[in-house]
């Protein structure tokens, strides 16, 4: 079980301008959302590319997490998928490992760019995983919180590119 969301935003700029901002994750990630800490780029590289490993620390619906993942591919000016097979969350003091990921997609649209953040998470198929999933969805309103979290990131990228 789990969930997927796909918020998007139109940016008054061509995909290449959006892309330049997006691949500079060290510049925008921490600044884009107060729930983010600066990312750790774990791979020696000058640019984000397929195989780049990144660790992020953030809060989703108030739950702190550490996610170590990898850019699984990079399609220039179109798509950046990142997957973390075992993001570590701590809910009511107990640990939970959750596979999760996000794919950033930039699509041209009438001289502008539609930027979408497809975010997904899977909860473990265990009693504890079911309890956390139910709590996340129904008590913490976590899916809506994650949607707002991703929109905050999208709005930041929009402001940065359009400035």
For the chain, percent of residues with pLDDT exceeding 70: 99
Total domain count, the chain: 1
The pLDDT mean for the chain works out to 92
* pLDDT at residue 161 in the model: 95
User: In 3D, which of 56, 76, 78 has the Cα closest to residue 65?
Assistant: 56
- For 138, the token pair is 């129904």
Size (the chain), residues? 163
Q: Which residues contact 134 (CB under 8 A, 6 or more apart)?
A: none
pLDDT digits (tens, 9 = 90+) for 30-43: 999 999 999 999 99
pLDDT digits (tens, 9 = 90+) for 97-125: 999 999 999 999 999 999 999 999 999 99
Distance CA 99, CA 120 (A): 8
* CATH code assigned at 136: 3.30.530.20
Structural domain boundaries enclosing 100: 2-162
For the chain, percent of residues with pLDDT exceeding 90: 72
Distance CA 152, CA 157 (A): 9
Q: At residue 63, does pLDDT exceed 90?
A: no
* pLDDT at residue 93 in the model: 81
Are the C-beta atoms of residues 115 and 104 closer than 8 Å to each other?
yes
């Amino acid at each position: 079980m789990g969930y997927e969301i796909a918020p998007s935003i139109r940016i008054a700029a061509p995909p290449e301008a959006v892309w330049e901002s997006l691949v500079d994750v060290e510049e925008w990630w921490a600044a884009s959302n107060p729930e983010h800490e600066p990312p750790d780029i774990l791979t020696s590289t000058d640019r984000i590319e397929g195989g780049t490993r990144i660790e992020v620390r953030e809060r989703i619906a108030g739950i702190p997490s550490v996610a170590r993942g990898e850019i699984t591919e990079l399609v220039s000016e179109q798509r950046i998928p990142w997957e973390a097979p075992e993001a570590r969350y701590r809910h009511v003091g107990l640990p939970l490992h959750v596979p999760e990921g996000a794919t950033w997609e930039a699509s041209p649209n009438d001289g502008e760019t539609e930027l979408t953040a497809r975010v997904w998470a899977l909860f473990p198929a265990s009693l504890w995983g079911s309890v956390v999933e139910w709590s996340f969805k129904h008590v913490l309103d976590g899916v809506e919180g994650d949607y707002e979290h991703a929109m905050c990131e999208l709005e930041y990228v929009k402001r940065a590119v359009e400035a």
